[in-house]
A = this chain, B = another copy of it.
Amino acid sequence: MKQEITFIQREQLKTKPDTASLGFGRYFSDYMFEMDYHSDLGWFNPRITPYEPLTLEPSSMVFHYGQAIFEGMKAYKTPDSSIQLFRPEKNMKRLNDSCDRLCIPRIDEEFLLEGIKQLIVTEKDWVPNGEGTSLYIRPFIFSTEPYLGVRPANQYKLLVILSPSGAYYGSQLSPVKIYVEEQYVRAVIGGVGHVKTAGNYAASLKAQEKADAGGYAQILWLDAKENKYVEEVGSMNIFFKIKGEVVTPRLNGSILPGVTRDSVIELLKYWNIPVREEKISIEEVFAAHQRGELEEVFGAGTAAVISPVGELTWKDQSITINGNNIGQLSQDIYNELTGIQLGKKEDPFNWTVKVTEVEV
């Protein structure tokens, strides 16, 4: 039985920010989707309600024991002025995977996606249409029960907030400098690295500070057990093109299964370009470069889509990849994925979902 989504109107709409100065994650739209959970009631009271401050007890468990998970998605304006999402069902599924690992009650994926669509229809004027812009969608769930015992909470809140955004890494594709971190680790097998929980990001900040201080854009994380195998880059998955073949670390329980990662793999298969998911050591990457076989390196994630890596530093060795230029394959994948996302290219995979088709 589907629940009815209530609509609570706000008195006055906000002034929309100038598209040129959007940046990322700074402005929020007029409405949000909200739903509560109580162990006696399940998920209840789904509503589209004014974006406004929350009221929470100081003892709310999220502040103390960190049961907090999220997703990141985007809505795009197509040339015919319709609005579409990119593989949103993957985000809904991953949200539930995060729920499972963090002992948070699962949500009805179809229902939440319908709520998100209704929210976007309500906020259709907030989807920007400048080059590289999109409406960033942030679904998140956190524990609210006022209690200091360590156990899964009995009360939660689910919110979906919308933020009109420019490109995450600036407005155009340009190679970044990456630093291989050896002291700090992001995640370990048996931990929570394979799901999107708040604590993973908190734990990553210290290493990112080190990277910033050294003039690097991002960190390349190694596995926590042997400090040897490549895991992921900052907030992206990582791909290496070696002698015409593309390699990306195999999902092992500590790597986040990115939607863009999966899309890159599917696209490469469609193009008949060899792609393998396997354990790859940082030593192998540097050896491939020594042999002149490391042709391209790029990150893949919702925020940047594709982020070419121009320089990679590990211990005291720095290597320049493809002369610090954007690789042809990186560019092709970027063009194809963003083309599909923006409705400028055909979508042979049926990845896009029109929002405007929803009945409200």
A side interface size, CB within 8 A: 64
Cβ of A235 under 8 Å from chain B:
yes
Cβ of A90 under 8 Å from chain B:
no
Q: Please tell me how many copies of the chain the complex holds.
A: 2
Q: Are B66 and A197 in contact (CB under 8 A)?
A: yes
- Residue in A140, A146, A148, A161 with the greatest tally of chain B CB atoms within 10 Å: A148
Instruction: State in angstroms the CA–CA spacing of A241 and B324 once bound together.
Output: 60
Instruction: State in angstroms the CA–CA spacing of A205 and B59 once bound together.
Output: 18
Instruction: State in angstroms the CA–CA spacing of A281 and B136 once bound together.
Output: 48
Cβ of A333 under 8 Å from chain B:
no
Q: Are B190 and A65 in contact (CB under 8 A)?
A: no
Q: Are A103 and B205 in contact (CB under 8 A)?
A: yes
Interface residues of A in 156-215 (CB under 8 A from B): 159, 161, 163, 183-185, 187-192, 197-206, 208-209
> Using a CB–CB distance below 8 Å, which chain A residues touch chain B?
24-26, 28, 32, 51, 53-59, 62-68, 70, 101-103, 136, 138, 140, 142, 146-152, 159, 161, 163, 183-185, 187-192, 197-206, 208-209, 224-225, 227, 234-235
A54 contact set on B, CB distance < 8 A: 55-58
CB distance from A294 to the nearest CB of B (A): 26
Q: Are B58 and A51 in contact (CB under 8 A)?
A: yes
Instruction: State in angstroms the CA–CA spacing of A285 and B131 once bound together.
Output: 63
Q: Given the interface contacts A148-B25, A148-B163, does A67 sit within 8 Å of B205 by beta carbon? A: yes
5 A-B contacts, Cβ less than 8 Å apart? A25-B59, A25-B149, A26-B147, A63-B198, A150-B235
Q: Are A203 and B199 in contact (CB under 8 A)?
A: yes
Instruction: State in angstroms the CA–CA spacing of A150 and B163 once bound together.
Output: 15
For the complex of A and B, list the 5 residue pairs with the smallest distance between their C-beta atoms, beginning with the closest.
Answer: A199-B199, A25-B148, A66-B198, A185-B190, A65-B201
Instruction: State in angstroms the CA–CA spacing of A235 and B151 once bound together.
Output: 11
**Closest residue of chain B to A183, judged by CB?**
B190
**Closest residue of chain B to A147, judged by CB?**
B25
A185 contact set on B, CB distance < 8 A: 188-191
A140 contact set on B, CB distance < 8 A: 63-64
A199 contact set on B, CB distance < 8 A: 66, 192, 197-200, 202-203
A148 contact set on B, CB distance < 8 A: 24-26, 136, 138, 163
Q: Are A66 and B202 in contact (CB under 8 A)?
A: yes
**Closest residue of chain B to A226, judged by CB?**
B225
**Closest residue of chain B to A209, judged by CB?**
B103
Q: Are A68 and B66 in contact (CB under 8 A)?
A: yes
Q: Are B150 and A224 in contact (CB under 8 A)?
A: no
CB distance from A63 to the nearest CB of B (A): 5
**Closest residue of chain B to A160, judged by CB?**
B58
